[in-house]
Amino acid sequence: MESSDTYLIRPHHQHKFKPAIVKECIREIVREQLSGVQYDPEEVPQLSRTLADSVKEKVKNAGFERYKLVVQVVIGEQRGQGVKMSSRCLWDADTDNYAEDVYMNDSLFCLVAVFGSYYY
């Protein structure tokens, strides 16, 4: 009678969330879309949204199976102010991971963080 469900609680190695690859993805996209962009408070919300989407799409295609992705994009104006950002996660450190990259030019800074959470 008793049948126990089988769970895949660890991703295959090739499917594991690899921060280096993700970081490269982020960097590529951010470089592409933000180089030479001046900070404009009107456009930045839309920009950050599209950026997050494109990053998500790109990371999705990177082949991290069974991973739920959370992409956080923060774009702020660069006026010499101090900025401090940190994150805290309740997760399974064996499977879950994150990658972040910061892009800065004269007028803005952009932080993209991708959190990958494994879906068992």
Partner 1 sequence: MHSDKKLTKEDTWRPEDLRRYVREGGQGDDRARRRDGSERKHRGGESTERRHRDPEKESRQERDKHRERESTRERRDEDRKDRYVEQRKEGSRDRRGDKERDRRDERDKEKEKRKERDGLVDGKRYSDDYGGNKDRKRDREDRHDRKRDEERHRDKEKDRVRDRERRNREDGDKGREERDKERRKEERDRVHRTERERRRHEDSGDAGRDRIEMYDREQRERHRERERLKDNREDKRTDKERRERHEDRKHSEQKEERGKEYREEHRRHKEERERRHKEGGCDDQKPKHDSDSRVHRDVKRSGEEEKHRLGNRERGDKDKQRERRHREDEDPERKPRDRQHREEEEDPERNHRDKKSVSDQSNKPETTTVKSEVVDEEVVDQEYEDDFEDYEEDFEEMDPSENEGEDEKESEEFPQEGGEREEVTTQKKKEIEAIQRAMNEENERVGTDQSIQSTRREEEDEPKLSRGHEKNHSRASQRGKFIDFVAAKQREFSKKVATKQKKRSTELLRLIDLDFSMTVSLLDLPPVNEYDMYIRTFGTANTKQAYVQCNEDNADRDIQTEEIEVCEKWTQHPPEHSGACGDSNLSQEAQGRNMNETNFDSQRLAAFLHSASQVLVVLLEEDQAERKSLSKLRTQKDTLSFSDGSLQLNTKLPFLYDRPISLVYFSQVQRHTMMSVHAPTTKPSAVRLDSCTIICIWNIWEPSRPQKILVYESEVQCCCFSPGKAILVFAGTSAGSVVLWDLREETSNHYRLNIGEEEWTFRQPTFSTNAVMAASGHFSSVSSVEVVPSTAAGGLRPEVPLLASEEESSGLSFQLASLDESGVLNFWVVVELPKANEAGSPTDLGLRPGGKVKLLHSSSLLTAERVSQRDAVKTGPLQTLHLKFLPSDSNHFFIGTNMGLVNHGTSHSLKATPKFYRFQEAGVRPVDVNSIHFSPFRQNMFLVGCGDGSIRLHTVSQEQPVAEWRDSTAGEPVVSLQWAHTRPTVFCVLDAASNLHVWDLLKKDTEPVVTERISADRVTAMAVFGDSGKQNTYSGIALVHESGKIEMQYFTRDFTVTIPAEEEKLETMMTEAF
CA 25 to chain centre: 9
* Spatial distance between the Cα atoms of 60 and 40, rounded to a whole number of angstroms: 29
87 counts as binding partner 1 under rule CB under 8 A: yes
- Four-CA torsion 20, 120, 13, 30, nearest 10 degrees: -20
Residue placing its CB nearer to partner 1 in the complex, 53 or 92: 92
Least CB distance from residue 7 to partner 1, whole Å? 6
Binding mask 39-58 for partner 1 (x = CB under 8 A): --------------------
Query: Interhelix angle for 44-60 vs 19-34, to 10°?
Result: 140
Binder of partner 1 out of 35, 41, 42, 82 (CB under 8 A): 82
* Spatial distance between the Cα atoms of 53 and 66, rounded to a whole number of angstroms: 18
The binding site for partner 1 (CB under 8 A) comprises 1-3, 5, 7, 9, 74, 80-93, 98, 100, 102, 109, 111, 113, 120
